[in-house]
């Protein structure tokens, strides 16, 4: 039961109740981790909602004297210890490696709560969407010679081209989304724009709920290795074929139906996601690691909002942007 509290506090509180992947059995070398990962995820949620893109800006916000910041500082304190700025920087920098697993875990949890496909086999759609890099673009002729003409250029981004978006310089957000009445993000990865969709697809498929039996993709996912992976998991990959329609292949009419279903799920969700977080222009940070942190963190936050709407008995997937602005 959600009690009345500031929305930002409620979203942070929800992190204590979501399932997280198990910790590795063998501790890694180096300094022992003193602050649990949930604490770092809480800070990331605050940063994304309040558009604080560095540990310094997070701490400057929390230093303000108000009832809200006092509550948030308490929630970011573990056993009477509030992490230092250097700890925040180090742990936030390491968080992108964990975010795909967190997104997959929360996606499976949402599916178990909502049962979006009823008793039938689940359907998920996969796709990538472009995100333009912050700053200027690094033209290929300059990249080839190693010349960086302007300091605003994010040199870790790259070029790509699609039939709909044309050329862009930046990143790809690879997403798997439930193809149902409610759009539920189930898995996500972020790469440079030149990474092929079929290279990332196996990692998305590995995070899908077991109930998913059909995976819908465009021609870029029509890959033999991906098809074998799906078959080993007793799943069916349904991807469009190249060439003019109508296709003479058996089952073409069935694939056309699934392609329409895919277009009604993943493509609108991509547009909604970028509109909610206002990233249709450029992402707010530079560098692969920091872009992964905030973009994948935003996918996790979107899932968290769905969980809040479930528990608050609010319309699911509706008015998410006003909800974030009110937090």
Q: Indicate the domain borders of the chain.
A: 7-22+35-97, 99-287
Burial of residue 292 (number of CB atoms within 10 Å: 0-12, 13-18, 19+): buried
- Show the 3-state SS of the chain: CCCCCCHHHHHHHHCCCCCCCCCCCCCCCCCCCCCCHHHHHHHHHHHHHHCCCCHHHHHHHHCCCCHHHHHHHHHCCECCECCCHHHHHHHHHHHHHCHHHHHHHHHHHHHHHHCCCCCCCEEEEEEEEEEECCCCCCCHHHHHHCCCCCCCCCCCCEEEEECCCEEEEEEEEEEEEECCCCCCEEEEEEEECCCCHHHHHHHHHHCCCCCEEEEEECHHHCCHHHHHHHHHCCCEEEECCCCCCCCCCCCHHHHHHHHHHHHCCHHHHHHHHHHHCCCCCCCCCCCHHHHHHHHHHHHHHHHHHHHHHHHCCCCCCCCHHHHHHHC
Residues whose CB falls within 8 Å of the CB of residue 229, separated by 6 or more in sequence, listed in order: 202, 205
- Of residues 166 and 225, which shows the higher confidence score? 225
* 1 — pLDDT class (breaks 50, 70, 90): very low
For residue 157, how many C-alpha atoms fall within 13 Å in the half-sphere facing its CB? 30
Say which range, 16-25, 63-72, 124-133, 173-182, has the weakest mean pLDDT: 16-25
Stretch 93-116: mean pLDDT: 96
Burial of residue 220 (number of CB atoms within 10 Å: 0-12, 13-18, 19+): middle
pLDDT digits (tens, 9 = 90+) for 10-42: 999 999 988 887 765 555 555 555 568 999 999
Q: Map tokens 């109930």 to a residue.
A: 211
CA 130 to CA 165: how far, in whole Å? 8
Strand partners, 236: 214
What does the block give as tokens for 244? 């003019």
Q: Which of 190, 31, 173 lies closest to 96, judged by CA?
A: 190
CA 193 to CA 191: how far, in whole Å? 6
Q: Map tokens 């994304």 to a residue.
A: 48
- Of residues 274 and 2, which shows the higher confidence score? 274
* Percent of the chain residues past pLDDT 90, beyond the cut: 72
Helix axis angle for 224-232 and 197-206, nearest 10°, is 10
Report for 2-16, 155-169, 199-213, 230-244: range of highest mean pLDDT:
199-213
Q: What are phi and psi of 49, to 5 degrees?
A: -65, -40
pLDDT digits (tens, 9 = 90+) for 254-294: 566 666 767 677 888 888 899 999 988 899 999 999 999 99
The total number of residues shown for the chain amounts to 327
Q: What's the Rg (C-alpha) of the chain?
A: 21
Supply the pLDDT for residue 120.
Answer: 77
- Would the pLDDT of 160 be above 80? yes
Supply the pLDDT for residue 4.
Answer: 73
Say which range, 20-34, 161-175, 221-235, has the weakest mean pLDDT: 20-34
- Would the pLDDT of 218 be above 50? yes
């Amino acid at each position: 039961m959600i009690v009345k509290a500031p929305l930002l506090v409620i979203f942070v509180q929800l992190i204590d109740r979501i399932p997280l992947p198990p910790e590795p059995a063998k501790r890694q070398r180096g300094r022992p981790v003193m602050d649990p990962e949930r604490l770092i995820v809480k800070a990331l949620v605050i940063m994304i909602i309040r558009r604080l893109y560095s540990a310094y800006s997070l701490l400057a916000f929390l230093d303000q004297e108000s009832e809200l910041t006092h509550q948030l500082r308490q929630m970011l304190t573990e056993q009477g210890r509030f992490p230092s700025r250097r700890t925040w920087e180090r742990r936030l920098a390491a968080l992108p490696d964990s975010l795909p697993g967190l997104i997959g875990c929360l996606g499976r949890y949402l599916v178990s709560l909502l049962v979006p496909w009823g008793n039938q086999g689940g359907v998920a759609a996969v796709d990538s969407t472009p995100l333009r890099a912050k700053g200027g673009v690094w033209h290929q002729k300059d990249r080839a010679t190693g010349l960086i003409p302007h300091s605003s250029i994010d040199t870790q981004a790259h070029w790509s081209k699609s039939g709909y978006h044309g050329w862009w310089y930046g990143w790809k957000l690879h997403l798997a989304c439930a193809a149902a009445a409610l759009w539920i993000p189930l898995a996500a990865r972020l790469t440079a724009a030149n990474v092929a969709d079929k290279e990332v697809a196996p990692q998305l498929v590995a995070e899908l709920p077991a109930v998913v039996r059909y995976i819908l993709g465009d021609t870029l996912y029509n890959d033999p290795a991906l098809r074998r992976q799906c078959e080993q998991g007793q799943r069916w990959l349904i991807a469009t074929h190249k060439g003019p329609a109508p296709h003479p292949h058996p089952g073409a009419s069935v694939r056309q139906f699934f392609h329409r279903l895919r277009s009604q799920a993943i493509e609108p969700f991509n547009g909604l996601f970028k509109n909610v977080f206002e990233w249709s222009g450029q992402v707010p940070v530079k560098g692969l690691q920091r872009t992964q942190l905030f973009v994948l963190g935003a996918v996790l936050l979107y899932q968290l909002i769905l969980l809040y709407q479930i528990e608050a008995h609010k319309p699911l997937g509706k008015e998410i942007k006003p909800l974030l602005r009110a937090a």
